[in-house]
Amino acid sequence: MSQIATNEKIPNNVDLASDRRLQRALEQWQPSFVKWWVEMGPVGFQAHDVWLRTAISADSDGWAHFDYVKMPDYRWGIFLADPVKDRRIGFGDEMGKPVWQEVPGEHRNALRRLIVTQGDTEPASVEQQRRLGETAPSLYDLRNLFQVNVEEGRHLWAMVYLLHSHFGRDGREEAEALLERRSGDADNPRILGAFNAPMLDWLSFFMFTFFTDRDGKFQLLALAESSFDPLSRTTRFMLTEEAHHMFVGETGVQRIVKRTAEQMKANPGREPRELGLIDLPTVQRYLNYWYSQSLDLFGGEVSSNAAQYFATGLKGRAHEDRYEDHVALEGSYEMTVPKDGKLVEESVSLRNAMNEILRDAYVEDCQRGVDKWNKTIAEAGVDFELRLPSRRFHRHVGLYAGMHFSPDGQPLDEAGWAAKQGDWLPSPADRAFIDELMQEPVLEPGKMANWIAAPNRGIKGKAVEFEYVRRD
C-alpha cells in the first residue's frame, strides 16, 4: 500500500513532498479554500466539536478515522486508491493499451472539462446545504450533514489536485474559479442546474443526498473506468465516501415515511399535517422534483460528446467489466423519442446512447431505494406507494426538454400541464408547510423532531443518544 503523509500541511498519499512546486501551489490554494469554507460552508457550528470521519489513508481499514474535530480544522487530504499493476485501457478505440499517467495533449481540453464539471458540484452542494444546521431534526442528523459537507470539501480537493498536478497554469486558474462560482448566483452560478437549486429544508436534503449524490456515484463510476489513471484512482477512492452520503438520503427519507405511516396508523382519521407530520403525497412531490432534476445531470439521451468520451477512453460505463462488448461500435439502443407530438421508437447507435445507458443503471439503483421506502410504509400497515416518475417527466435537458409529460410519461399540452403541475411538484403551499414544520432545530442528544423516526442505530458503534455535536 502507498506511503501516507499525515503530519504534513496537506495529508496525502501521493508523495506530495517530492514535488515542491506542486506542494507549494496547493499550499497556496489551501488558505483560499479555508476562507471559502468559513464564508460559504455551514452557517453556525464552525466552533463546535463534531464527531467526524476523516480519511487518513486509502486502504480498506485505515481510511475512516473517527474523532471530534472543529470543521475549519478538518484535515482535508489528497488520497488516491492504490494503482492497479499493469492497468490497461478497458474500452473504446484504444482498448488494451497501457493507461495514461500523463494527460495526452489531444485530450487535454476534454479531460479538463470533465474534471472541472465534476469538481464544481462538490463545493456547490456545500453552499446549497449551508443553512440546514439551523433546522436540524437531531444531533445525529446534524453530524451527518456536516460529514457530507466536509467530504464534499475533500472531493473538491481531489479534483483540484488533478488540475494542479496535470494541467499547469490553466489548471490553477480553474482551481481558483472553483472557489469563485456560487450556487444560485445570477452572475457566476455553478455549472450544472441541480446544483443551483435552493435547498432550505431537510426533506429536500434527504432527497438530494439520495438522488443527486447518486448521480455523483454513477459519474464517479464512469470516471473510475477512465484511461487517465490518476482520475480513475481519485474517483475510486471518492466512491467509498459517497456511499455514506446516499445512506444519509436513503435512511433519512425512510425515517420520515416510517414516522408518518406509524402515526397515521395510530391516529386514524386524522390528517398527517395536523399531527405535525409530512404527508406521503408531499414526500412524492419532493421525490418527483429531485429525481427529475438529477436525471438531467446525465446529459442528453443522444450525445456525440458522450460517444467521443467513450471512443477516446476518457469516460466509460458504470462497471465496464459487466459488459461483454467494450468497443460498442456495433449494436444499437432502442429509445422512445418525441416526434411531431407523438412518441416513437428509434434506434440509436450504442456509443451515442452512453448517457442513457448510464442513466439506466442509475434508475435501477434509485428503484432499489424506493422499494425499501415502500416496504417501510407497508410494514406500518398503510396503503400508499411511492413511485419514480417516468424519466420524461419535468425534464430540462435532452430529448424531453421543453415538453410536458405526466408522471406516467404521457405527453401533455400547456393547459394539461398547468392544471396538474401542483399535484406533481412541490407547490408554494407545500414549501410553506415544510418551512413551518422545520423552524426549530432539535439539539438535545437522542431527541428527534416530531416528523422523523429515530435511526435504528448510531454512527460507528455509538448510541443514537451520543453527543455527535458538542456544544460547550
Region of 174-182, 212-220, 276-284, 304-312 interacting with Fe ion (CB under 5 A): 212-220
Class of residue 21 by CB neighbours under 10 A (exposed 0-12, middle 13-18, buried 19+): exposed
> Does 250 interact with Fe ion (rule: CB under 5 A)?
no
Q: Judged by CB, which is closer to Fe ion: 49, or 152?
A: 152
- Least separation in angstroms between residue 64's CB and Fe ion is 15
- Least separation in angstroms between residue 147's CB and Fe ion is 10
Q: Judged by CB, which is closer to Fe ion: 182, or 392?
A: 182
Region of 195-203, 207-215, 385-393, 433-441 interacting with Fe ion (CB under 5 A): 207-215
Region of 117-125, 195-203, 346-354, 433-441 interacting with Fe ion (CB under 5 A): 117-125
- SS3 string, 110-160, reads HHHHHHHHHHHHHHHHHHHCCCHHHHCCCHHHHHHHHHHHHHHHHHHHHHH
- Least separation in angstroms between residue 151's CB and Fe ion is 7
Give the phi and the psi of residue 90 in degrees, each rounded to 5: -100, 0
Contact 464/140 with Cβ under 8 angstroms? yes
173 three-class SS: helix
- Least separation in angstroms between residue 271's CB and Fe ion is 35
* Whole-angstrom distance, CA of residue 276 vs CA of residue 272: 7
Among 245, 315, 351, 404, binds Fe ion (CB under 5 A): 245
Q: Judged by CB, which is closer to Fe ion: 11, or 389?
A: 11
Region of 150-158, 228-236, 383-391, 417-425 interacting with Fe ion (CB under 5 A): 150-158
Q: Judged by CB, which is closer to Fe ion: 92, or 249?
A: 249
Region of 5-13, 193-201, 206-214, 263-271 interacting with Fe ion (CB under 5 A): 206-214
**What is the dihedral sign for C-alpha 18, 83, 65, 73?**
positive
- Least separation in angstroms between residue 315's CB and Fe ion is 17
- Least separation in angstroms between residue 212's CB and Fe ion is 8
Q: What is the DSSP letter of 210?
A: I
Q: Judged by CB, which is closer to Fe ion: 162, or 264?
A: 162
Among 130, 143, 154, 155, binds Fe ion (CB under 5 A): 155
* Whole-angstrom distance, CA of residue 126 vs CA of residue 213: 12
- Least separation in angstroms between residue 216's CB and Fe ion is 5
Q: Judged by CB, which is closer to Fe ion: 156, or 434?
A: 156
Q: Judged by CB, which is closer to Fe ion: 112, or 245?
A: 245
Give the total of residues touching Fe ion (CB under 5 A): 6
Region of 120-128, 270-278, 319-327, 360-368 interacting with Fe ion (CB under 5 A): 120-128
Q: Judged by CB, which is closer to Fe ion: 153, or 299?
A: 153
Region of 155-163, 177-185, 277-285, 459-467 interacting with Fe ion (CB under 5 A): 155-163
Class of residue 383 by CB neighbours under 10 A (exposed 0-12, middle 13-18, buried 19+): exposed
Contact 208/125 with Cβ under 8 angstroms? yes
* Whole-angstrom distance, CA of residue 48 vs CA of residue 241: 23
* Whole-angstrom distance, CA of residue 413 vs CA of residue 406: 10
- Least separation in angstroms between residue 322's CB and Fe ion is 23
First CA to last CA distance, the chain = 40
- Least separation in angstroms between residue 61's CB and Fe ion is 22
| Amino acid residing at 78 | I
- CA distances for 442 relative to 34, 207, 403, angstroms: 28, 20, 42
How many residues belong to the chain? 472
Q: Judged by CB, which is closer to Fe ion: 155, or 166?
A: 155
Q: Judged by CB, which is closer to Fe ion: 129, or 284?
A: 129
- Which are the contacts of 407, defined by CB distance < 8 A and separation ≥ 6? 288, 387, 389, 390, 393, 424
Q: Judged by CB, which is closer to Fe ion: 245, or 259?
A: 245
- Least separation in angstroms between residue 152's CB and Fe ion is 5
Q: Judged by CB, which is closer to Fe ion: 154, or 404?
A: 154
Among 201, 213, 229, 279, binds Fe ion (CB under 5 A): 213
Half-sphere exposure of 214 (CA within 13 A, CB side): 31
* Whole-angstrom distance, CA of residue 47 vs CA of residue 175: 27
Give the phi and the psi of residue 438 in degrees, each rounded to 5: -110, 45
Region of 8-16, 25-33, 94-102, 235-243 interacting with Fe ion (CB under 5 A): 235-243
Give the phi and the psi of residue 147 in degrees, each rounded to 5: -60, -45
| Amino acid residing at 3 | Q
Residues that bind Fe ion (CB under 5 A): 122, 152, 155, 213, 242, 245
